[in-house]
């Protein structure tokens, strides 16, 4: 019996797309021994291996156009629009190269999170395809660039590419994606860490009654050094590059814990409006304060979901408003703890992928 191959193409806009796909890959490897997984991304191998524990083949993606983010909280609109124009200009050539690669690889299935080029190339190569994500780059492009003269051409190409997806798995909370006719909402997808609260508090020499708050911005560059507010009884936990260390600010690096286990071991997390941190915090029953990005189109669906599933507050002034951040953090720390959720979308995604790949 021949070995089945599944090709995963993963966008590298921060760590979110990799983090959302990783538990699905790990569960596939657990359930189907001998399955060959090939993963393409522009993330370096060391980053991929922090998220995916099973043995996979890792290749560099040919081209991955998302949005240009100079830091975790902003978008460079001109650079992003120019990148999409380059993609549009090279589209047919890239499509030929990608489809030839897929014919040579002979995968049973292509799973894209969420390259439109990958989906369109799979269709041209005669390979089955599935999209897996809580968003898509066509909707993001339309949100920022719909008034540009080239928008109709670029957006038309992106929409057409996404329309080639046989199935678009949409883990909750997801954007509406009204133009995706093959959409199928599924449960949340998240990795689950280990709660190591006592060990962490001991390593940080925390006092009785001190509460530990993690500030994390994912895999994009930090937006400069932040002036964190002093909040009575709160110890901040940050990467050294995010904020200067003080008697109430400790470095994540000193904990010797993985980023995921840190999240599962704190009292609250402050994050940008990003899917994976919010859903992982809900799985950990950890309080969440979202500091939203300007005009980011995922914000509304994430806030709506977090209000229903998390001990949650919105710091509408963002990370540059220390007073507002402190007020919203106090609300979360004083609020009732919510029950943890289960990431039921992992098994739902695995079932759909296994069926499409003929496993």
Indicate if the alpha-carbon torsion angle 28, 32, 33, 37 is positive or negative: negative
Name the helix (H) or strand (E) containing 157.
helix 151-163
Q: What is the pLDDT of residue 252?
A: 94
Q: Mean per-residue pLDDT for 140-161?
A: 98
What's the pLDDT tens digit per position in 230-261?
999 999 999 988 888 999 999 999 899 999 99
Bridging pattern class, strands 129-132 and 109-113: parallel
Q: What is the pLDDT of residue 295?
A: 95
Q: What is the pLDDT of residue 1?
A: 55
pLDDT class for 148, splitting at 50, 70, 90?
A: very high
- 312-314: strand order across its sheet: 249-251, 234-238, 211-215, 268-271, 287-290, 312-314
Q: Is the pLDDT of residue 215 over 60?
A: yes
Concatenating the DSSP letter of every residue in 90-107 gives HHHHHHHHHHHHHHHH--
What's the pLDDT tens digit per position in 187-204?
999 999 999 999 999 999
Q: What is the pLDDT of the chain when averaged over all its residues?
A: 96
Q: What is the pLDDT of residue 53?
A: 76
d(CA 214, CA 129): 38
Residue 270 · residue 211 · CB < 8 Å: no
Q: What is the pLDDT of residue 225?
A: 85
pLDDT class for 272, splitting at 50, 70, 90?
A: very high
Q: What is the pLDDT of residue 341?
A: 98
What's the pLDDT tens digit per position in 59-109?
999 888 899 999 999 999 999 999 999 999 999 999 999 999 999 999 999
Q: What is the pLDDT of residue 3?
A: 87
- Number of alpha carbons in the 13 Å side-chain half-sphere of residue 139: 18
Q: Mean per-residue pLDDT for 36-55?
A: 92
Q: What is the pLDDT of residue 188?
A: 98
What's the pLDDT tens digit per position in 302-327?
999 999 999 999 999 999 999 999 99
pLDDT class for 172, splitting at 50, 70, 90?
A: very high
Distances 151 to 96, 142, 143, 210, 356 between C-alpha atoms, Å: 23, 8, 11, 51, 33
Q: Is the pLDDT of residue 336 over 70?
A: yes
Strands (E), the chain: 5-10, 36-41, 57-60, 109-113, 129-132, 167-171, 183-186, 211-215, 234-238, 249-251, 268-271, 287-290, 312-314
d(CA 191, CA 310): 17
Query: 114: cis peptide before it, omega within 30°?
Result: yes
Q: Is the pLDDT of residue 331 over 90?
A: yes
d(CA 304, CA 134): 14
Residue 168 · residue 184 · CB < 8 Å: yes
């Amino acid at each position: 019996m021949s070995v089945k191959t599944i090709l995963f193409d993963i966008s590298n806009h921060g760590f979110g797309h990799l983090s959302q796909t990783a538990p699905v890959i790990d569960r596939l490897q657990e359930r189907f021994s001998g399955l060959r997984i090939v993963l393409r991304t522009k993330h370096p191998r060391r980053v991929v291996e922090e998220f995916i524990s099973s043995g996979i083949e890792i290749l560099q993606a040919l081209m991955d156009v998302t949005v240009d983010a100079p830091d975790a909280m902003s978008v460079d609109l001109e650079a992003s629009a120019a990148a999409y124009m380059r993609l549009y200009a090279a589209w047919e050539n890239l499509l030929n190269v990608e489809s030839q690669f897929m014919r040579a690889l002979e995968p049973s299935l292509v799973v894209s999170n969420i390259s439109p080029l990958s989906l369109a190339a799979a269709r041209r190569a005669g390979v089955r395809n599935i999209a897996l994500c809580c968003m898509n780059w066509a909707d993001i492009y339309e949100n920022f660039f719909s008034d540009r003269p080239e928008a109709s051409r670029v957006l038309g190409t992106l929409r057409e590419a996404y329309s080639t997806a046989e199935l678009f798995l949409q883990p909750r909370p997801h954007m509406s994606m009204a133009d995706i006719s093959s959409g199928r909402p599924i449960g949340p997808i998240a990795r689950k860490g280990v709660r190591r609260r006592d060990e962490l508090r001991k390593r940080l020499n925390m006092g009785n009654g001190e509460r530990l708050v993690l500030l994390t911005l994912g895999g994009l560059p930090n937006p400069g050094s932040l002036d964190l507010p002093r909040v009575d009884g709160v110890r901040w936990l940050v990467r050294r590059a995010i904020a200067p260390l003080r008697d109430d600010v400790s470095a994540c690096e000193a904990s010797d814990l993985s980023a995921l286990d840190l999240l599962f071991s704190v009292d609250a997390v402050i994050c940008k409006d990003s899917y994976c941190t919010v859903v992982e915090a809900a799985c950990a029953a950890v309080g969440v304060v979202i500091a939203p990005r300007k005009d980011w189109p995922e914000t509304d669906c994430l806030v709506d979901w977090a209000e229903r599933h998390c001990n949650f507050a919105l710091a509408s002034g963002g990370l540059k408003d220390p007073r507002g951040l402190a007020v919203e953090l106090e609300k979360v720390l004083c609020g009732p703890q919510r029950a943890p959720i289960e990431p039921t979308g992992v098994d739902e995604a695995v079932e759909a992928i296994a069926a499409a790949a003929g496993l």
